Amino acid sequence: MIAFLGPRPKSPPYVFESMFLSRTPKLGVEWLMVLALVMCANAFAQQPTVLTNVTVIDGSGRPAQRNRTVVIKGDRIQAIAAGRKHTPSSAKVIDLRGQTIMPLIINTHGHLGLTKGTTQSAANQTDDNFRHQLLRYQEYGVGAVLSMGTDGKHFAEIREQSRRGALPGADVYTAGIGFGAKNGVPPAAMGFTEVFRPETLGEARSEVAQQVPQKPDFIKVWVDDFWGQYPKMPPEIFGAIIDEAHKNGLRVAAHVYHLEDARLLVADGVDVLAHSIRDADVDDALIAEMKKHNVAYIPTLSLDDFAFAYGGSPKWVDDPFFTAALDPGVLEMITSPEYKAKVQSNKVTAQEQAALPQAMHNLKKIYDAGILVTLGTDSGATPIRIQGFAEHMELALMVQAGLTPIQAITVATLNAAKLLRIEDQYGTLTAGKKANFIVLEKDPSQDIHNTQTIRAVWKDGNKISDGPIAAGTSAMPR
C-alpha cells in the first residue's frame, strides 16, 4: 500500500493502482483514505488492553492473586503476571487498584423465556423476552446458561441465534424439550406445556430420537412428585430415555428430590443429578456409584430458599442488587400481605424449610467426596426465582453449606465449564482463554457477598456493562 503513494512504476504489479489513480484520481484518493481508516481501525482493535494492580481470582481453585497485571489482546487473555513488567508500550492501561476480577459465572440450570412480569407461560417465549433475560443474566456477571428442558421445538434455533450474536447477552446452552410424567411434574398448569410426556417405552425412545438431529446439550427428565401431589415418572420410562440418549451420544440430566430416585437414576446411567437430594442423607454407597460413573451434581440451593423466604422479610428484598433484577410487578407481589400469608399457610413451606439444610448437608458431603459439583439455580422457572440475583444467592448458600468462597467460585466457573465441555475456552482466567470476567469493587474470597459489588462486566476482551447498579451494598445474609 505504501508504494501507491510514491512514483507509479509502469510494471504489471501496479496496474491495479494505475487504474484507480491515473484514470479516476478522485476515486483513488478516496479509496486510499478508506484503506487508511480501515488500517487505523484494525491497529486500534489490536491494541492490547492492560489491567494493572488488580486482584485476580482465576477460577482454578487457587487463592486470590494480588497486584497482578492482566494483558488482553483481541478477545483473549495474553498474560497474567505480577507487577507491570509485561505491559506492552502501546497498550491501553486501566488501573484497577483495590478491585478484583473473577471469571463470568456459568449457570448450569436455568430456564429461558418462561416468565414475564408475574406470569409464567410458554407464550412468553418471544425473541424480545429471550433477549431481555439473557441481557439481565449478563448484567449480573452470568456469561452462559444451560436452559433445562423448557425451550420447546425451537431450542436449536435459540441456541444458534445466541451463538451468532442475534440474541445478545449470556450464551445459551439447551436441554431441548424435556420429559415429564403424564399429568405430572413439571405441571402443565404452571406453564410447562412444551414438555414430552411419554406413556410407553416406544414413545420415550421416539421422542428422544426426534431431538437427536438438533444435538441438544443435554436431555432433561423430571423424576419427582412434588411431595406426593403428582404422578411420578415410572423407572422404566426414564430408563428408556437414558438408554436412547446414550445410544445417540447425548447426556441426561434429572430433576430429582428423593434419595431412592437418585439411586435408580444413577444405576440407569444418568449423567447429572440436576437438583439436591433433600429427603435424606446421601450415603457412601450412592456416592461411590456417582464417582464410579462420573455423575455430576447441581444443588440449586436457592430454589428451596426462594420457596419460603418471601413468607418473611429477608434483608435482601429491599437491596438494590435484588430489586434491579425484578420484572415489573414482582416486588409488589412478593411483598404483599396476601402473598406472605399464602407462603406461610402453604403446607409445602415447612417441607421446603426442612429441605434446605438437608440439601446443604448433602452438598458438602458430595463436594468433599470429589464429585463434580456445578452451580445451578433453576432461575427463570417461576417469577420468584430471580435471574441474575439467584446466581449470587447460590454462591452465598454454598458458602453457608461449608464450602470456602474460593471453592464456591470454582464450582460456578471452572466446574460449570467442565460440565458444558467448554473449559478449553471458558471458566478460568489464564493465558490463551477468553477474556470474560467480572470486575468487583471488593474481594469475594474474603466475603462471598462481594460478588455482588459488580463494577463492570467484560466479554470477549471488551467491557460491555457497568453491572446492574451503579453503586450499592452487598445483600447480607438473613
Mean pLDDT (whole number) for 192-213:
97
Residue-wise pLDDT for 236-278, tens only, equals 999 999 999 999 999 999 999 999 999 999 999 999 999 999 9
CB neighbours of 134 closer than 8 A, spacing ≥ 6? 112, 145, 162, 167, 168, 169, 170, 172
**Antiparallel, parallel or unpaired: β 49-56 and 92-95:** parallel
| Res 37: pLDDT | 47
Q: For residues 180 and 197, is the Cβ–Cβ distance under 8 A?
A: yes
Model confidence band, residue 88 (pLDDT cutoffs 50, 70, 90)? confident
Q: How far is the C-alpha of 415 from the C-alpha of 294, rounded, in Å?
A: 13
Q: Is 154 exposed, middle or buried (0-12, 13-18, 19+ CB in 10 A)?
A: middle
pLDDT for residue 39 is more than 60: no
The structure's pTM equals: 0.89
Q: How far is the C-alpha of 259 from the C-alpha of 355, rounded, in Å?
A: 12
Q: Which helix (H) or strand (E) holds 334?
A: helix 330-334
Which amino acid belongs to residue 20?
F
Q: How far is the C-alpha of 122 from the C-alpha of 115, rounded, in Å?
A: 8
- Locus of grid cell 452470568: 142
3-state class percentages of the chain: helix first, strand second, coil last, to nearest 5: 40, 20, 40
Q: How far is the C-alpha of 152 from the C-alpha of 195, rounded, in Å?
A: 7
| Res 89: pLDDT | 78
- Locus of grid cell 426465582: 385
Using omega within 30 degrees of 0 as the cis cutoff, is the peptide bond preceding 12 cis?
A: no
Residue-wise pLDDT for 100-154, tens only, equals 999 999 999 999 999 999 999 999 999 999 999 999 999 999 999 999 999 999 9
| Res 24: pLDDT | 39
Model confidence band, residue 85 (pLDDT cutoffs 50, 70, 90)? low
Residue-wise pLDDT for 277-310, tens only, equals 999 999 999 999 999 999 999 999 999 999 999 9
Which whole-number Å values give the CA distances from 279 to 146, 186, 353, in the listed order?
26, 19, 12
Q: For residues 251 and 270, is the Cβ–Cβ distance under 8 A?
A: no
Angle between helices 235-247 and 201-211 (to 10 degrees): 30
Q: What number of other Cβ atoms are within 10 A of residue 75's Cβ? A: 14
Q: What percent of the chain has pLDDT over 90?
A: 85
pLDDT for residue 358 is more than 90: yes
Residue-wise pLDDT for 159-191, tens only, equals 999 999 999 999 999 999 999 999 999 999 889
Q: How far is the C-alpha of 50 from the C-alpha of 47, rounded, in Å?
A: 10
Mean pLDDT (whole number) for 433-442:
98
Closest CA to 388 of 134, 36, 28: 134
Residue-wise pLDDT for 377-396, tens only, equals 999 999 999 999 999 999 99
Q: What is the DSSP string of 5-73?
A: GS----SGGGHHHHHHHTT-HHHHHHHHHHHHHHHHHHHHHT--EEEEEEEE--SSSPPPEEEEEEEEE
Which whole-number Å values give the CA distances from 332 to 21, 337, 345, in the listed order?
69, 10, 19
Which whole-number Å values give the CA distances from 329 to 27, 111, 208, 326, 383, in the listed order?
58, 20, 38, 8, 10
| Res 86: pLDDT | 63
Q: How far is the C-alpha of 149 from the C-alpha of 223, rounded, in Å?
A: 13
Give the three cell numbers for residue 9.
Answer: 512504476
Mean pLDDT (whole number) for 447-457:
98
Q: Is 187 exposed, middle or buried (0-12, 13-18, 19+ CB in 10 A)?
A: middle
Kindly report the average pLDDT of the chain as a whole number: 90
